[in-house]
Structure 1
Amino acid sequence: MKLLADENMPYVQELFGDWADITTCPGRDVSPEQLIDVDVLLVRSITQVNKALLAKANRLRFVGTATIGCDHIDTEFLTERGIAFASAPGCNKVAVGDYVLAALLKVAVHKNWQLKHKTLAVVGVGNTGSQVVQRARALGMKVLQCDPFKALSCPQSSPTDFVDLKQALTADIVSFHVPITRGGAHPTWHLLGKAEIAELKSEQVLINACRGEVWDNAALLARQLSNTPLTLVIDVWEDEPNVLVPLVPHVLLATPHIAGYSLEGKARGTFALYQALAELEQLTPAHSLAQLLPAPAFTRVELAACLDQPLLARLVGLVYDINLDDAAFRAALGQPGFFDRLRKQYPERRELASLQLVLDTITADPAQAQALGFKV
């Protein structure tokens, strides 16, 4: 079979090479002509798979996206055409949890905060949001969950388990983890709009690691230029790959949509599509996920002290230094094609679970270390 894949997807050749003749290209540049005589299309979030793109796809029978979200895929059109579809729910949830934890620790240093004394609201408690909830609770933070769909689907939950958006936006830190939707009972496009931004207090922190259009970037810039700016962590930007450049100097951490870009997360995404295609074509998988991943630079650390906030920050930085991503973003800002280039050339990043902590159980809690994302 003939297979076309986003060039930023890892392990495509290793996994699909036995089955397919593989071509790769930039995901944002896929054209209808490239899909002539192609059987399998593998994409990430930057490729809009719709009627226009598939206008010349005469043999296409499988589309896979190595992402959690599917808002870039016209699934109804695929169904009409009889084209099988698969996504990779949960593939990068751990990586996003790592990213937000690293961001929280950076915020704590910036504001001289003890996180255990602060409240975090998580807007959207799906795969990625639940990871953030878990880590925040392990930090000792009070957590507010905002997710009307989850609240309705969990009738056994207490009314205090979930809050509405207005209450969520009173938290010290608000982290967003929703898909982008424009219709329905709870649309998320500009969920944080001009009116909501105006009500926020200057001491508050906002984190966006989901979709750029969930925030009104222009309204945020206006707020940041006022005498009561907010503290912002932005991984996703409205109108990517374009970035509202004047906003960047007023952001504490700025990164190019890489929160979920761990090596493990990307590998899980590709592997999920490998399994889905094997099932569709009744092929026997010959590879495992564990075989793909190289050994990490650091594998084991012995701790003789309590896992307090300063020590945690050092351990997280040993595996993932979020400051390097921020520095690379600012250094490249404004250069032609910088956003996609940073994503394409993103350095190998491992998840916290690649590091095993050997704990003195008298001074450290193994359950806390595991909840924060480490192997124990």
Structure 2
Amino acid sequence: MKIVADENIPFVQECFGQLGEIVRLPGREMRREDLLEAEVLLVRSVTQVNEALLAGTGVRFVGTCTIGVDHLDLDYFERAGITWASAPGSNANSVVEYVYAALAHMDVDWQHQRVGIIGCGNVGGRLHRRLRAQGVECRCYDPFLTLEENPDLTDLASVLACDVVCLHTPLTHSGPHPSFHLLGAAELAKLKPGAVLLNAGRGPVVDNEALLAHLQGGADLKVVLDVWEPEPDISRPLLAQVALGSPHIAGYSYDGKIQGTHMIYQALCRHLAREPELSLEQLRPAVEDPERRLATDDFWTGLRALIPQVYDIAGDDRRLRELASQAEAGEADFAKGFDQLRKHYPKRREFSNYRVQGEGGELPEVQRVRLEALGFVVE
């Protein structure tokens, strides 16, 4: 059996090598000719998998190691009898930790902010639960949920009035509540002065041209963008205006990638009626130096010092801006460089791999609760 896989998917050989011959290719450059003899296709979000790519090939199983599936033509899969699988929730922790790292970097203590969340599925729902566990006031907009499922549901206008607004929606163009350009000029104008707008869902959920015009017009708004419209050749003028920018890597923690690969491995084993032989724990390596200390005199100051020790989000922003400068000087192809930043992304481990102690020993109860809600292990 021939398996074609995006070269950015980790542990492909370890998981799938026992099932067939592996061919690894750049996800954005996959062509129909590459798949003529393949039975299995493994992708990430950069590959548009549709009839144009698969017609006339032997592909009978498509696995995407991502939460989202807007890059998959599911209607075609059903017509063609192609089995598919995604990895819902695999990188939710990673994206939630991206949000915390961004806010810490900007010195925005979420404990004292009203946080609005647009889209409360795997990622937004997890962020909501963690914030509520820390006592944070939240407002949520998700027209596909009920108040029984999320008691903080409200309308979009109420969410846009919050101090921090986070977007974690899939990209949809049709249906009763399409998310494409959900935030345009009119919605951006409703954001309160001094607010934070963070998009780690899908780039076109925010009208990027309208956002650029809003910022260039002098809006008092701190913007964090991990996703852009379009990718990979994003708007460099918009990058210059945002407080933090990154190349679509919010969900790129090492743990999230491993989990995504393993979920698709399990799905393919089910498709082949085979028992999985490799466990998630066999794939996940231990952190070499898991011990961390927190200065407890001022918890927020201590937390702002702790988080970058685990996840240096400023490095993500710096590398993207360096690429933009090189592209402006004619020294780099920005679109290719954007994908290279994703391909060679540093190994980022999630908070749950680290044990935190107070500098003077045991942490106060309130600090322990907040750290555990963030995902850290507390001694």
TM-score, length-scaled by structure 2: 0.92
1 CA distance for matches of 2:130 and 2:87? 22
CA displacement, residues 14-70 of structure 1 (integer Å, 9 cap, x when unaligned): 11111110000010111000110101000000100101011231x211100000011
Could you tell me which runs of 5 or more consecutive residues in structure 2 were left unpaired when the two chains were aligned: none
What are the residue-to-residue correspondences of 1:91-110 with 2, within 5 Å? 91-108=90-107
1:171 matched residue in structure 2? 162
Contact kept? 2:266, 2:276, Cα under 8 Å: yes
In structure 1, the residue matched to 2:210 is: 219
Q: 2:113 — aligned with what?
A: 118
> Which residue number in structure 1 is paired with residue 302 of structure 2?
311
Partner of 2:45 in structure 1?
Answer: 45
- What stretches of structure 1 move > 6 A for 4+ residues in a row? none
Moved more, 289-298 or 170-179: 289-298
Q: Tell me how far 1:297 sits from its aligned partner.
A: 3.9
Query: Match of 2:213, as an amino acid?
Result: A
Q: Residue in 2 aligned with 1:131?
A: 126
The one-letter code of the counterpart of 1:101 is Y
Structure-1 separation of matches of 2:109 and 2:37: 58
Deviations 1:189-217 (A, max 9, x none): 00111111123233111000000000111
Deviations 1:171-198 (A, max 9, x none): 0110000000111111100011111112
Q: 1:73 to 1:307 in 2, by over 3 A?
A: farther
SS of equivalent residue, structure 2 residue 106: helix
Instruction: Give, in whole Å, the separation in 1 of the partners of 2:140 and 2:86.
Output: 26
Count of aligned pairs: 367
Percent pairwise identity = 44
Q: Which ranges in structure 1 are unaligned for 5 or more consecutive residues?
A: none
Which residue identity is paired with 2:136? M
Which amino acid in 2 is paired with 1:213?
A: P
Is 1:357 the counterpart of 2:356? The answer is yes
Letter in 2 for 1:259: A
Partner of 1:284: 275
In the alignment, the residues of structure 2 paired with residue 143 and residue 283 of structure 1 have an alpha-carbon distance, to the nearest angstrom, of: 44
Query: What do the CA deviations read for 1:302-340 (whole angstroms, capped 9, x no partner)?
Result: 557368211112221111010010000100123311110
Change in CA separation of 1:171 and 1:274 when aligned onto 2, cut-off 3 Å: same
- Asked if the contact 1:207/1:232 (under 8 Å) is kept, the reply is yes
Aligned partner of 2:79: which letter?
A: E
Once residues 363 and 351 of structure 1 are traced to their aligned partners in structure 2, the CA distance between those partners, rounded to angstroms, is 23
Tell me the secondary structure at the aligned position of residue 85 of structure 1. Answer: strand
Looking at structure 2, the residues matched to 6 and 129 of structure 1 have their Cα atoms a distance apart, in angstroms, of 27
Q: Distance in 2 between matches of 1:322 and 1:67?
A: 21
Report the alpha carbon displacement of residue 301 of structure 1 after superposing the two structures with TM: 2.8
**TM-score (ref. length: structure 1):** 0.93
Q: Aligned with 2:145: secondary structure? A: helix
CA shift at 1:157, angstroms? Answer: 5.8
RMSD of the TM alignment (CA)?
A: 1.7
Question: 1:142–1:241: structure 2 CA closer, same or farther, 3 Å change rule?
Answer: same
CA-CA distance at 1:236 after TM superposition:
0.1
Alpha carbons 1:304, 1:363 under 8 Å: kept: no
Counterpart code for 2:376: F
**2-structure distance, mates of 1:2, 1:115:** 48
Matched, 1:273 2:272: no
**Do residues 237 (structure 1) and 228 (structure 2) align?**
yes
Separation in 1, partners of 2:71, 2:150? 32
**SS of residue in 1 equivalent to 2:182:** coil
Which piece of structure 1 moves more, 65-74 or 285-294? 285-294
Change (3 A) 1:266 1:48: same
Matches for 1:151-162 after TM superposition, within 5 Å: 151=146, 154-155=147-148, 158=151, 161-162=152-153
